[in-house]
Amino acid sequence: MSIELRHLRCFLAIAEESSVTRAAARLNLAQPSVSRSLAALERHLGTRLVDRSTHHLALTPEGQAFRDKAAAAVAAFDEALDAARLLHAPLRIGHAWSALGPYTTPLLRRWARENPGIPVELLRIDDRTAGLTRGRVDAAVLRGRLTVPDLVTAPLFTEARVAAVTADGPLARRATLALADLATGPVVLNNVSGMTTLDLWPTAIRPTATFTVGNTDDWLTAIAAGRGVGVSAASTAEMHTNPGVVYRPLADAPPVEVVLAWRAAAPHPAIPDFVALVRAVASGDRPPGASAG
């Protein structure tokens, strides 16, 4: 049996819904049909993509690796047949939490004036590459270390790091903090789309307790509730305010490089112009703690 696009669509629906039943409803198909498509795909690949042994359906490691490839293939197929996209070719830019920080609004306004025929779609997607490896965007604004193969990156600017602490806690009374000040209690880590890991701290003062979350909103909620402290880029302080969280400069933390990343194969033709304009905006209106890349 040959594998067709419908097999990939069924698998992706199952992966996103974590349920064969919900995937079938979403695709307007009978549940047995979706189950057969998944089974056929697994037979063709010679590996299990979905773990059915637990109470809640989950992807196997092989399924997680295949999901990004399947999503990119489906997205490429849909885009190739989208007549409207061929005419207007919007530039889809993904980001995980803070877009382009304080440069976001002036950049979008200037782009609209200078490139009226190529609209920019800014999409927040909570994963490590902000939807890029899944084929959901043409390029992504990323922060921190990038280890994904087959991606091209261009530096845009750098940002200082800040500490995020509970508003009524003792650390909030300090004007500036150091990494050692954050090492005594739990550190809240966003292990899905965040950039901070324990490697930020020198071994001698590395925190021993962590609290993990899956997105920026939960990260803020945990810090506001006193579950721990956090570290992020300076733009987070401007883009994500919370009455229970205050941000303080981190005197001894290295800056964060903000880059634009895109897939090496068939890049959107407007990407070079977008990179150039971001750099121009960042250089011409530089807020404290940021410098052009």
* Residues 149 and 69 both lie in one domain: no
**All residues at 6 or more sequence positions from 277 whose CB lies less than 8 Å from its CB, including other chains:** 107, 110, 111, 114
- What is the pLDDT, as a whole number, of residue 79? 67
Q: 193: buried, middle or exposed (CB in 10 Å: 19+, 13-18, 0-12)?
A: buried
Q: Which residue has the tokens 């490429």?
A: 76
Same-domain check for residues 165 and 241: yes
Domain of residue 264 covers 83-158+256-292
**Coil, helix or strand at residue 112:** helix
The pair of structure tokens assigned to 67 is 């999901």
What per-residue confidence (pLDDT) applies to 244? 97
Q: Which of 233, 221, 163, 167 is nearest to 194 (CA)?
A: 233
Token couple for 151: 């991606």
The separation between CA 74 and the C-alpha centre of its own chain, rounded to angstroms, equals 20
Judge if 176 and 243 occupy the same domain: yes
Please tell me the distance from the alpha carbon of residue 265 to that of residue 112, in angstroms, as a whole number.
26
- Report the CATH number that the domain containing residue 174 is assigned in CATH: 3.40.190.10
- Is the whole-model pTM more than 0.75? no
| Domain count across the chain | 3
222 and 166: one domain?
A: yes
- Please give the pLDDT value at position 254: 95
Q: What is the length of the chain? A: 293
Same domain, 153 and 272: yes
The pLDDT score that the predictor gives to residue 86 is 46
DSSP string spanning 162-200?
EEEEETTSGGGG-SSB-GGGGSSS-EEEETTT----GGG
Residue 151 has phi, psi (to 5 degrees) of -115, 145
The verdict on 134 and 72 lying in the same domain is: no
Q: What pLDDT is stored for residue 286 in this prediction?
A: 47
In tens digits, the chain (293 residues) has pLDDT values of: 678 888 888 898 898 888 888 888 888 899 998 999 999 988 888 899 998 776 678 889 898 888 888 888 887 777 666 655 544 578 999 998 899 999 999 999 999 999 998 999 999 998 888 988 888 899 999 998 777 777 899 999 999 999 999 999 999 999 999 999 999 889 999 988 889 999 999 999 999 999 999 899 999 999 999 999 999 999 999 899 999 999 999 999 999 999 999 988 778 889 999 999 999 999 985 444 455 55
